[in-house]
Amino acid sequence: MKGTILSFRQGRKTQRPRHFVVEVSGVESKEKAKALVGKKVVWKSPTGKLHEGLISSIHGNKGHVRVFFEPGKSLPGQAINQEVEVR
């Protein structure tokens, strides 16, 4: 499955650099997004390095999911609006 990185997970005064909100193609509801919890997400950098994250929970009512990356293996800000693969 393919997805798109939408943004960092953030609040009014905080931003979490390891947490991202991802929109998965073909998933438009909470119920479909719940089935994705626990799957891996892979982003390939322009240099060819693979960054892996884990879908931890759903985010909102539109089927978006939260993806957590390990410390030190997080994504750069340039990854926003780029494509990822859900495995």
Burial class (CB in 10 A: 0-12, 13-18, 19+), 71: exposed
Q: pLDDT of 28-62, one tens digit each?
A: 999 999 999 999 999 999 999 999 999 999 999 99
Number of domains the chain is built from: 1
The range of the structural domain enclosing residue 29 comes to: 2-86
Element (H, E) at 32: helix 30-34
Nearest CA-CA partner of 57 in 19, 25, 85: 19
pLDDT at residue number 10: 87
